[in-house]
Structure formats: structure tokens, C-alpha cells
Structure 1
Amino acid sequence: MEDSTPLRIPGLTQSVTIRTDCWGIPHIEASSADDAFLAQGWVAARDRLFQLDWWRRRGLGRTAEVLGAHYVERDRAARLFLYRGDIDEEWAAYGPRARSAVTRFVAGVNAWIAATERDPGLLPPEFTELGYRPALWEPEDVVRLRSHGLYGNLEQEVARAVTLREFGAEVEGLRRRREPAVSLSVPEGLDLAAVDPHVLDTYRLAMGPVATHPAPTRTLEGSNNWVVAGGRTKSGRPLLANDPHRAMSLPSLRYLVHLSCPEFDVIGAGEPALPGISIGHNGAVAFGLTIWAVDQEDLYVYELHPDDDSRYRYGDGWESMEVVHERIPSPDGDREVELRFTRHGPVIHSDAARGVAHAVRAAWLEPGTAPYLASLNYLDAGDGAAFVSSLDPWRAPGVNHVFGDADGRIGWCPRALVPIRPNWNGLFPVPGDGRYEWAGFREARELPTVVDPARGWVATANEMNLPEDGSWDPVPVSYEWYPPFRAQRLSEVLGADTHCDVAGSIALQNDDLSIVARSVCSLLPAGGGDDDPDISAGLTRLHDWDYRMGTDSAAAALFETWLRGPLRERLYRDALRPLVPHDRLEAALAWVLPDDSLSGDMTVQTELLNACEDRTRVLVETLGLAVRRCRERLGDDPATWSWGRLNTSLLRHPLSQHADESLPWLRIGPRPKAGGPETVGVAVRDPGTGVQTTGASVRFVVDVGNWDASVAINTPGQSGDPRSSHYDDLYDLWLAGEVFPLLSSPEAVRAHTESSQTLRP
């Protein structure tokens, strides 16, 4: 349906046509890249205005302006982690396209905001609920924001220091596995007593998700991707799949868009507040990404001057912190806050009474590290070689890039800004007195690249994947990776399938087989006979199971209750007994048990089980306990149990704890959800509520060369405006593991156009 009245948009040089298809994807046809980016900003604001405004406010530290004075400390935290360096150096670091693209994109956002000023009916209802209007953007807002990226090494540094101090090195081995294996050595001069979890309170406030409650939680987010060469596909063409795992949100974190202009023709997903896309294809190369868990953070610990807590010891003398005073607006009255910075970065904790302070050095505060913005460089890559070259400026976050091109090449190119630590390994906080300084960064050409591997496929799932064949510098970029189980399942399926196709990749993205369940259940004694009826019922249920975490599966409900409950507690308690005094056993247990809301790492637990001397007795006794727990929670009859009663999808709007709870658009669900933390079709859940916290809100499968045969899904829908038909129209498809066509040819787009609009200068 063609809109009858063209819209006049300031800044356009020529007319732009926007066709929105029946799945809510805008297809932008422009006569130049500048006009395409401006139109992208316009449609992003049209569909996601509140999400964009909230992203900006949260990142710039302006939420108290809307929500009140109790958010001042959160805003202060956010401001500590803004980019504060030279803005010209910042723009140049991304490459030649960034400044113009961002400027035009922001102009498009502002054009839509101006339209809402003329017609307040265009404003989505969130602004009415909170009683404010969106602010205009500056291009620098986009690149100054850094705290929405995926990092997290700082948490591990602090946890490791506390574990070592409180319980010893052997207990740390139970808390977290290190890959490659490395012994622990406390940096010279570090007082472990000066480190505790509270020193990260400000950091956590800054890095938490966009929400309206002042103490947000953070989930661990990863992804799957793979690319298969034509020699192993039905079509003879490469096949690329990607399903980024992020916090499940309403609206979706990702936004799908198609940009067509003389310089490039790209379709796929990016973050709605950025120009371009980071996952998708450009008609010549398909590309996808997952997190590559590079250590880009260090916590520095300082001795403060006894008479002046704004000075810290450095070298043989004392150095002054940079002190900045800023005003944070609030309906309750503006508040002045103080921000402090050392030569290493923002000060997140200071205790004058103890004479100690802590600051963060982060590679992602260097020029050119606004998350994902460097993807602008590969929009016009004409083949795989050009794609690889375009990744040189990529700095943050650390990413496993995979690609497949129309000439049949495939490859893997991890990229990140990797600090060089000449005299320590990054596992602990370090003194900030000058003994522990970075010696620059690794160059992109120093990082591994694999093109056309002999096995005919590449897959990544955030696992430790540094080459072990001597082809790359053995010094690791990190010792902390995600659990290997999704990667193992991908290898199992892709390694066996020599006729991959789109349908098979869709099925693999939704695969709910748990190889952890298969491994653990293989250790159970044969048969179901036991004097204890609960043990007998549990053995029977798990012996008959196919190890799939389907919503109707009673065995899956029992297994997860057992694995993350009685079995885990028993294994860790038994392992801790010889390592800590009896009176500290429970404290140590509480400290080392994995946090399942953060995709708790099952690696150590499976190693403990495999090494258990009295394994059969431990397995059956704890299984009986798990059956009793299931009876208490799910009812006495195991035939009525189901995993979908314990694992649910419930999408919450960021205003769900602030606005009128009766508003229907604040929540979507709950609905039963398949999958688990270790399955390829991942579903990490909050163990207290059973609600999925992390998963693949977006999935892509690209048939390289037959581009209209590609498919995608984005849940719950493309629009963030609750009044739109595309607010939640894709939710049922997503729950069912289904997809829609990702169309890019002009003929296919026109055939599936739901509405169109012309923007004129």
C-alpha cells in the first residue's frame, strides 16, 4: 500500500523509498549512502523511538532526569564510562565512513523526533506514561556510549582474588576453569585484603541493562555461528547461520533493515541505535559474529595519599586524580556529582579510611571501540578477502567473525583490541603504582585467521578456540571462556552432515539435545530397580529419555532439577571438604557454585562427576532427592511433569516495574520454552522464577548466492511501538522455532510489501 503524501525530511539530497514488508522489515532504496543512513535513522526512530531514547539516556547518564533522584548514582556511574578522549581521533579510528554515517543516521532520528513535536500522536505510549518527550541527538552521543558492550573480565578478577584470599587456590580451581591451564600467581604488591565484590558496585550500575529499577542484574550473553563450504551443502553454495544470544527483552535488542544504494545493498540485523548492520549479507558476502572472550579489562588498586584522597602513589611519588564535577538533572532538583579518573581510567571505588581506591582500565575506552560500529567497514565488501581486510579497525567487543562469499570461500576471523600485558596475565587485579602497564595492543594481522579450512566448515560458540597447532602465537588473549558444550554439539552435527541445507541449519539453531544430559545419564546404573521408589522412578524416567529439552519432557524437568540441585550440591560439597575447615564449608559452597542466571558453567561439575570415586552411589542418592523436589514442585505424578512448566519465556518491557502493571504491552508471555543452558538452542533461565534471561531473539540462515532463499526471525517483532501490528507478531513463530523469508531482491520485496512511503528533501 503506497502512502499518498510524501514526507519532507530535512537533510535528504534526493527522494528515498521505504517499503515495509509483511514481517515488518523496512527496505530502504536511496540514491546515496548518505541518504540511506539518514532514512535508516528515520525508520529506526519510527519503530523504536522509546528504546533509542532510553539507550541514549541510560548511556549518557540522564535517567534521573526522568525517573527521579534515586537514579543519580546510576547516572554518575554511567558517566564514568563515557568516552572522553579526542573526538577526531575517535572518528578516524573507525575508518572513513563512520563520521558521515553516524551524522546522517542521527539526522534521521532527529527528523522523526521533530515529526513527533508537530504531531504528538506519533509518540509511543511510554513517553506518556513517564511524562516526558524525547531529546534530540548529537552524533557524538553514538560513539561516546560504551557501557552497552559485552565484557566482564573485571568480575572474574575480583572473584578470583576473593576466592584465593578466603579459601585458597584449590577452591578457585572449583570456582572457575582456566583455559589454557595456567597456575595462579598473585601479582607482586597486590594486597588481596583490598579487594572485595563491593568495589564493583559502581561498575555494575554502569554496565547493567536498560531498566527502570535502580539495581539491575546482568546476564551472560554469547552466540552461535557457523559457515559451511559448498562441498558439504545440498546446493553446492556456502551456507551461513548466526543466532546471537543476548538478554531477552521487549522490544528485541536487534533490528532488521535493508539498505540499498549505489555504494552497497545490505540486509540483516544491527543494534537499532547504530547505522548499518553487523549480521547479514550484502549480495556478495554473508557475515555473522559471536563473542570472542578477549580479556579487555584490568582493575587497578591504588594506595591513597594519607592526607589527600585525590592523590595516589605512582612510581616514587604521588599523582593527582583528574576530578570532574557534573550536574545531573532530576525532577527533585539537580544534583552535582564528582567523577574521578586516574591515568588508567575511571575510579569506581574509593575508601579514604582504608587508604585504597580502585579504577578500571578498559580497551573498550580507547578510540574506535564503540561496540559494533566498525561493522560499517564491511558493508561494501565485494568478496571474502575484502571482508577480512575490512576487519582491521574492529576493536570491541571481541568477536568471532565468520563469512561465506559468492565465490565459495568461507572463513573465521576473530578480531579485538587485545592488550599486551608484559609481566602479568590479567587474572588478578594489579597495583596501580606503575609496575603493571600495558605495552600497547596486538595488531589485527597478529590475530588468527582461517580461510577455506580442510574440513569444510567453521563454527564458534564462545568456546576456547585458539589454534593449538602452533599456527599462532601461544600467548593467549584470555584464560576465561564460555562452556564448550554448544561448540561440541555443533561439531557433532556439522561434522556428520555432508548435505547441509537451510532447513537443517534452522533445526540446528533450535536444537534442544543436551550433550551434558547424554553424558551424565550414561553413567547411571542399568535398569530401574531400587528399593527406594523415588530412585526407581527417576532411573526409569531418565533411561527412557532422548536427552532433548522439549517443553513437554518430564525427563528434562527431572534432569535439570537434579543436575543443578542435589547432584551439584553433593559434588561440590564433597570436593570442598578436604580443602576448607568444617565451619567454612557452607560459605565456600555458596561462593563457588555456578550462577545459573549467568549461564552457570557446567564444566567443573562434569569433571568432578567423572572423577568421583563413589559415583554410582552419589548419582542414585541425589537422583532420589531430585525426584522428591519435583514431586513438591510439579505434583506427585511424574506423568504430569514437564520442562515447560519450569522453563518459560516471559518478555518484559523496561518500564514493567515502573508503569501501570495493567498495561498489556508491558509483558509478553509467559509461555513454555524449549532448550537449556547447554543446548545449541540456548535458554538460560533465572533459577528463582524459571523465566528465560538469555537466548537467541534473532536467528539468521543465509543461502550464499541464492539470497532470497535466506531466512530470519526476530522476536517478538520488529516494532517497539505497542500500537503497531509488528510489536509481537513474530513471537509465536519464534517460540515454534520457525522463520520467515529474508527477501532482498527488488521483485521479492515488492511482492511482499505491506506498505510503502516516500521521503523527499
Structure 2
Amino acid sequence: MTDTIAVPGLTAPAEILVDRWGIPHLTAASEDDLFFLQGFNAARDRLWQIDLWRKRGLGLLAADFGPGYLAQDVASRHFLYRGDMAAEWAAYAEDAAAICTRFAAGINAYVDLVEREPERLPQEFRLFDTRPAHWRPEDVVRIRSHGLTRNALSELARAHVLAGADPATDRLRKAIEPLVEVGPVPGFDPEAVPPDALQLFRLAMAPVTFPPERLAATLDEAHLWRVATDLGEVLRAQEHEGSNNWAVHGSRTATGRPILATDPHRTHAVPSLRYLVHLTAPGFDAIGAGEPSVPGIMMGHNGTAAFSLTIFGADQEDVYLYETRPEDPESYRYGEGWERMRSVEERFAVKGAPEQVRSLRFTRHGPVVHAGPTRRSVVAVRSVWFEPGSAAYLASLSGMRSRNLDEFRAAMRRWGTPSVNQVYADTAGTIAWLPAGHVPRRPNWHGLAPVPGDGSHEWDGMMDPALMPVLVNPPEGFVATANELNLPPDWPHDDRPVGFEWLEDSRAVRIREVLTDQDRHGLADSRALQADTLSVPARRMQRLLAPLAAPDGEAARGLDLLRGWDARLESDSAAAALFELWWTKHLKPALFARLVPDPAIRRLLAPGDVGGILAALESPDARFGADPEAARDALLIETLAEAVRDGIRRLGDDLSAWRWGDLHHGYFEHPASAMAPDRQAELDVGPLAKGGSSSTVMHAAYRPDDFRVTHGASVRIVMDVGDWDRSTCINTPGQSGDPRSPHYRDLAPLWARGEQVPLLYSRAAVEEAAGERIRLVPQPTR
């Protein structure tokens, strides 16, 4: 099928060739036209998604959806970049402004096309009676609230836990690596700074939801929609938004060429957060994944160099607490005197209501997110987001054009956020790991708890990127990351602190275990490893269960099932169903109840740190009682029996017939399906039986109430560095964001089974796989 479209703004003919898996291959006569074409194509396939992303990020939702969205708009405006735009553009690439200008122009060209040809308009706009808006180039970079956060929420939770308990209790919530002592925050008043003091911060990061009652809210009810998701859910999301990547040197592969694999883990959604695209123009030919609202690609290859990223645990934000002046609540103590907050007046259009005006307040450190006027206190968040060059992933505009490691390292010195592990491989045979991103220097604190905003705790600039480690062609023949603490063993944490909150290391342990044991690694091995379901926590728990005995009954049945198990969380595994049910619903809550008597503190521990929980179980201490090991063992047996009884209620009395996939399922819920239940089957995708957990390489984190998979890899890529057409990939549930498209849900079943499709690069291979062809020709503007 061929479609020809005349497009104002294009300077020469261009083409979008969509292969049979929905991956668009874009070809233009110049890079200038290429990024215009990328914007046009992003709107063609994902217009509803990117339009909603822009309106959420800029605080423009209420104009389309009414007063129920005003509070979220106000929150989002607090986190816009408000600095110098010249410095902002220069940070990413010399031509970043030009690229984003053309990208936005391409989006606008498609918006104009939709106005001329309404049949192209995605149905969501008709459902809500809204229209897509035009973009400005700066819209691509000013929105900061969609980037991954670091530990602001954890800092506040830690302050509350330490105010009512001790560091050992807090390590059940979040482990600290390497371990440093963090005591109660001096002068911290839990009533003045309650656990929800960062509610506005959370609301700014929250996705957009469309429950009917929110859409129907009046202006008087707008305040009812200022509460984001539960703090435990937010912290759980942060714990689960990780990634895996690795590069295997040619000396360890079957072909003698490097292999690079990546699978970033984010919140599952429809459409997918990521988008696969092939960009071709004279002098530039790259394919891979990015976000549809951003030009370029952040992971993939350019025919010479391949690159990918995972989150690196640098601490990029802080919570500041201020004392306000008694007679002037707009001033806060700073140094020997008082400093006045900066006030910014913002105007908000609201559907069905008059324009609203709100005043946003900022300290020298960042936006004020909470005020306790009766106690003369305010709270602000400081983040690298507010620094030039901190739009998420935009430094990829330089990195994706690198042709060797030196060029790539130079490009990564531009990287601001999120802080990442970059894994690199090229056709010369080089593989490498290097972290990238802004790392604030904190001369007198660790960044693990809130600090006074009085000038006693100030950043001393950013760490010089040249001081960060790099690993090139290591003797073990591979580099790999999975969000674990992966700084060198001799890293000087006191002199160059980077961060102390990392994701637990189960995935990293398993990846290194597999790669170390393989003599010759192949593409199929990388794909298998991306779909690996072995649970390191399950294996560790089996060791604790091994010496235990139980009388006849549920506990004995549970022990029998878990002892003979290979610790793999396969979707058809009965033991996997029991283990995850036990761990999530019974063992973890019982452990918290045993070790933490105060229910208010227990509520702050969710979702809990896997590493911290395992450490508490493997090395029981006096909190268990006079005989810690015996009490621990009794807890294991009692909760295992409860889990078996729970499983019988859920899955039947025949334990051998249980299946983890009967509980654990992928489900992609479209934001609009809540207000259009009659179209739910058309908009949503799933359920899909799924193996794995948050601790397996095949990351499949789930919400504990119903085991629905909420986080994990949507995109997976495995690249043969040099024989590029042998590379493979997957995106789920599909490439397109339009439910009318055949590529809206076509990849979901393959994804659920851990399968992949070709990631074709050569022109001959692309042509052979062609499904749809769209030819664009210039149309002079009138």
C-alpha cells in the first residue's frame, strides 16, 4: 500500500516505509528534512500520546479536560525549565535547536494535515472532543517532569522512619550501598513536614487519568484531584524502573563480532513509552529506540557504533527544609539573614470555567512544594533538572552520531539526565561501559535525608565527568549493568560520592553468572538471557528452607513444592506461583509486623527493599527475639502454610496444577478506557500470562493487589555489531498508538513469550520486508 502526501515545510521528497512489524524506516534528502520527517512520523503513529505528553508536561490539561486537571497543571508548571535557552540548546549538540525546530515543524505539519483530512484524526480526540495542538521547539526540552526521579521521596520517607525507628528498620525500606550511617534529621518535625509533603512533586510526575468523576469535576471540586497515587505505589514504581544491558566482546562470541543487548524497564502502557525508528539521510543512518516526543534515538546503532543505556544510581536531587520569617511567610532564613522567595504568576485556561491564576513560589534551590504556615516551614526540591542540559535523553543527539569510543565519550560529557550506564560496542571490536549524567558535589552530607535550606548544605557544582570511571575491553570479555552498585571496588566514595541508593542486585548477579559461564555467546543467547526468569531471591530463600521440617499439612506441601524447584518463575510453574504469593502476600508483611511494631512506620516501608529483606532473613538479629534463628524459621513455616492456603483459595487444591501466569499477567490499559468502558476491548491489550518478577532478568514487576505486570521491558534489542540485519527487537504492545492500526497490538503475544522480530538495517532487507509505503513531497506554502 502506498500513500502520497504533499507536505508544506519539506524541502525535497522523502519516504516512510513501514515494515511488517510496524517499524518505520524514514529516508530524507538531508538531515534537516530527516528530523522534520521524524516529527511528522511520530505524529502519524503516536499523535494522541505525544499531544497528551506535551499538555501534561506544560500544564495545559485543564484547557482540554476541565477543572479536575487544574491541580496537576499547577504541579507540572513547578517543574518546567525556566533558565537560559541559549545555554540549554548548546548543552546537547551544536545543532540541537535546529533539530528540535525541524522536529516540532514536522509534528505541526501532521497536525495541519489532520485538520485538512479529519479522517486521519485519532479517535481519542473525538472521544474527548479535543484537538491536537501545535508545538514550539522549546516544548521538546522545557518539560522536565517526565524524567526519572531519584531519591527525594526516599529522603522524606527516611526522615520519618528515623524519627520513629532506627537505621536497621529503614534498611528494610531501602538499602544503602555502600553503607553509611544516617541518623535522625536534626530539628525534623514530622508534623510540620508530614509524609505527604511531596504530594505536589508526586502529582507533577503522575500519568494522566480519565475517571468519569474527574472529567465531570467542577471548579469547586478541583482541589479534590491534587492527590497523586499512594506513596508506596510511587516508590514501588521508582524501584521497578530499571534496565539491563550488556556488550560481549568478539573474543567471546560465536561470530567474532561484538553483541550488544538492551532492554530498558519502564511503566507498561499503551501506547508503549518507547518507539523504534530508522533514520536515514546522507551522512547519517541510525536505527533504534527513543521516545516518540523526542528527536533522534537513545539506544540502537548507526552502522558503526552501537549504544544503549540503563539507569545509573547517581543522586540528582535533594529535599530542602526552610524556616520562614515570623512576620513575612514569603521569606526564609538563609545565612545570617532572610531571603525572599521568588514568585511567578501563571495563568491556566480551564474548560467550562474562567481562566485561573496561581502564584508559584521558588527558593534559590527550587520550587516550593509544601508549606506549613502554622509551624513556619516550607519544603522545596532541588534537582539537576533545573540546570541547562537536563532534558531527559536529549544528549543522545550527540551520542547517536558518534563513530568511535572517543567521540562517544565526548558526547556523553554533555549528558545531564537521567544518570545512566552507557554500554557501547563498535565494528572495530571495542566494547565499553561508562556512566554519564550530572552528579552534584555535596561537600558535607550524603544526600540521603532532607537538609536545611539556610545555606549550610549547598552543592559545589557538578563532578567533572572526566573523573568518572570507564571500562574498555575488560579481560572477562563483557560489560553488563542492571542498575546495581557497579562503581569499581576501590571507588573513593568519601571523596567522590555518587549515590547510595541503587536497585537490588539480583538481575546483575544473574546476568554476570550466565555470561561468565558461556564460552561462546550468540544472538540467541542474548535473547534467552533477556527472557531469563531465574529468581536469585527464590534461590536464596530455598537455602533457608532446606534444613527446615514441617508437620503434615500446608507447610509440608509448600516445602515439597519449593525444594524440588529450579527457582525459575516460568508462567506455567506451580512453584513460582507459590513462591511469589508467599513472598508478596505473606512473608514480607509478617516480617515487617515482627520487626516493626509501629504500624505508622510499617506503612512507610512499602514496597520494601529486596536486598534489605533478604539480609534481615539471612542474618536474623535480636529484633526476632531471644532465639533469632528459631523465630525466623518459625516465621518462614507459618507464612508458607498461609501462602499454600491462600493459593488453594485462588488456584485450587491441586498444587501441581497451579500456574504463575494464572496470577501474573501483562495488561496494557489505555488511559481513555476508564471513561469508555464500551470500547475497552478495542483500547486495552491483554491479559497475557507472564513469567518473571522484578528480580529476574526478564523484569516483570507487578502490583501486589492483583499481580498485574506494571513495569518491565517494552522494548528489547539485540544487535549483531557489524552484521546489522541479524539484529532483533520487540516493542509492546505494538509500534502504533492508533487502535485502528494493525500494529497497535500485534507484538504483544510475541513479547509475552519472550520472542523478538528482525531489526532490519540494509536497504535491501528493508525493502523486502516492506508493508506500507508513504511518500511525502514538498508543497509550497501559500
The TM-score normalised by the length of structure 2 is: 0.93
Report whether the alignment pairs 1:370 with 2:366. Answer: no
Residues 317-368 of structure 1: per-residue CA shift (max 9 Å, x gap):
2211111222211113122111111111111111222211111110111111
Mapped partners of 1:680, 1:668: distance in 2: 23
SS of aligned partner of 2:371: strand
Offset at residue 533 of structure 1 (A): 1.3
Mapped partners of 1:660, 1:115: distance in 2: 30
Residue number in structure 2 paired with 1:671: 688
* Alignment counterpart, residue 81 of structure 1, candidates 72, 79, 82: 79
Offset at residue 462 of structure 1 (A): 0.5
Q: Is the 8 A contact 1:223 1:696 kept in 2?
A: yes
Q: How does 1:352-371 map to 2 (within 5 A)?
A: 352-371=373-392
Unaligned runs of 5+ in 1: 577-583
Offset at residue 663 of structure 1 (A): 3.9
Offset at residue 601 of structure 1 (A): 2.3
Q: Is the 8 A contact 1:165 1:193 kept in 2?
A: no
Mapped partners of 1:553, 1:660: distance in 2: 33
* Alignment counterpart, residue 599 of structure 2, candidates 583, 586, 598: 586
Q: Residue 625 of structure 1 aligns to which amino acid in structure 2?
A: E
Offset at residue 307 of structure 1 (A): 2.1
Report whether the alignment pairs 1:484 with 2:515. Answer: no
Q: How does 1:528-567 map to 2 (within 5 A)?
A: 530-567=550-587
Offset at residue 531 of structure 1 (A): 2.6
Aligned length: 746
Residue number in structure 2 paired with 1:176: 174
Mapped partners of 2:346, 2:380: distance in 1: 19
Q: Is the 8 A contact 1:187 1:424 kept in 2?
A: no
Offset at residue 516 of structure 1 (A): 1.2
Residues 526-579 of structure 1: per-residue CA shift (max 9 Å, x gap):
69x743311121111112211111111111111111122332234334434xxx
Residue number in structure 2 paired with 1:636: 653
Report whether the alignment pairs 1:384 with 2:382. Answer: no
Mapped partners of 1:716, 1:193: distance in 2: 45
Mapped partners of 2:676, 2:340: distance in 1: 44
Report whether the alignment pairs 1:607 with 2:618. Answer: no
Mapped partners of 1:693, 1:372: distance in 2: 23
Q: Is the 8 A contact 2:585 2:704 kept in 1?
A: no
* Alignment counterpart, residue 161 of structure 1, candidates 144, 147, 159: 159
Q: How does 1:313-328 map to 2 (within 5 A)?
A: 313-328=333-348
Q: How does 1:215-364 map to 2 (within 5 A)?
A: 215-217=227-229, 218=234, 219-220=237-238, 221-333=241-353, 334-364=355-385
Residues 604-628 of structure 1: per-residue CA shift (max 9 Å, x gap):
1111121131244332232112111
The TM-score normalised by the length of structure 1 is: 0.95
Q: Is the 8 A contact 1:448 1:472 kept in 2?
A: no
Mapped partners of 1:756, 1:72: distance in 2: 42
Residue number in structure 1 paired with 2:209: 211
Q: Is the 8 A contact 1:180 1:476 kept in 2?
A: no
CA RMSD of aligned residues (A): 1.7
Mapped partners of 2:208, 2:511: distance in 1: 32
Mapped partners of 1:568, 1:757: distance in 2: 54
Summarize the Cα distance change of 1:503–1:703 in structure 2 as closer, same or farther, 3 Å threshold: same
Report whether the alignment pairs 1:741 with 2:758. Answer: yes
Q: How does 1:413-428 map to 2 (within 5 A)?
A: 413-428=434-449
Residues 654-681 of structure 1: per-residue CA shift (max 9 Å, x gap):
1222334434232111121111111000
Residue number in structure 2 paired with 1:720: 737
SS of aligned partner of 2:374: coil
SS of aligned partner of 2:776: strand
Summarize the Cα distance change of 1:530–1:92 in structure 2 as closer, same or farther, 3 Å threshold: closer
Residue number in structure 2 paired with 1:684: 701
Offset at residue 26 of structure 1 (A): 1.1
Offset at residue 126 of structure 1 (A): 0.2
Q: Residue 464 of structure 2 aligns to which amino acid in structure 1?
A: E
Q: Is the 8 A contact 2:484 2:505 kept in 1?
A: yes
Residue number in structure 2 paired with 1:581: none
Mapped partners of 2:493, 2:707: distance in 1: 42
SS of aligned partner of 1:695: strand
Mapped partners of 1:602, 1:173: distance in 2: 10
Report whether the alignment pairs 1:625 with 2:646. Answer: no
After superposing the two structures, state which structure 1 stretch, 409-418 or 617-626, moved more.
Answer: 617-626
Offset at residue 374 of structure 1 (A): 0.6
After superposing the two structures, state which structure 1 stretch, 563-572 or 48-57, moved more.
Answer: 563-572
Unaligned runs of 5+ in 2: 212-224, 621-628
Mapped partners of 2:704, 2:550: distance in 1: 30
Mapped partners of 1:683, 1:517: distance in 2: 15
> Sequence identity, in percent?
48
Q: Residue 108 of structure 2 aligns to which amino acid in structure 1?
A: N
Q: Is the 8 A contact 1:572 1:605 kept in 2?
A: no
Residue number in structure 2 paired with 1:2: 2
Q: Residue 313 of structure 1 aligns to which amino acid in structure 2?
A: R
Mapped partners of 2:595, 2:677: distance in 1: 49
Residues 184-205 of structure 1: per-residue CA shift (max 9 Å, x gap):
1456565555432211010000
SS of aligned partner of 1:162: helix
Mapped partners of 2:550, 2:157: distance in 1: 42
Offset at residue 449 of structure 1 (A): 1.1
Q: How does 1:483-522 map to 2 (within 5 A)?
A: 483-522=504-543
Q: Is the 8 A contact 2:321 2:450 kept in 1?
A: yes
Report whether the alignment pairs 1:71 with 2:88. Answer: no
Q: Is the 8 A contact 2:441 2:497 kept in 1?
A: no
Q: Residue 637 of structure 2 aligns to which amino acid in structure 1?
A: V
After superposing the two structures, state which structure 1 stretch, 332-341 or 238-247, moved more.
Answer: 332-341
Q: Is the 8 A contact 1:244 1:697 kept in 2?
A: yes
Mapped partners of 1:97, 1:502: distance in 2: 36
Q: Is the 8 A contact 2:321 2:453 kept in 1?
A: yes
Mapped partners of 2:495, 2:729: distance in 1: 38
SS of aligned partner of 1:689: coil
Mapped partners of 2:202, 2:329: distance in 1: 23
Residue number in structure 1 paired with 2:16: 18
Offset at residue 709 of structure 1 (A): 0.4
After superposing the two structures, state which structure 1 stretch, 159-168 or 379-388, moved more.
Answer: 379-388
Report whether the alignment pairs 1:105 with 2:103. Answer: yes
Summarize the Cα distance change of 1:470–1:312 in structure 2 as closer, same or farther, 3 Å threshold: closer
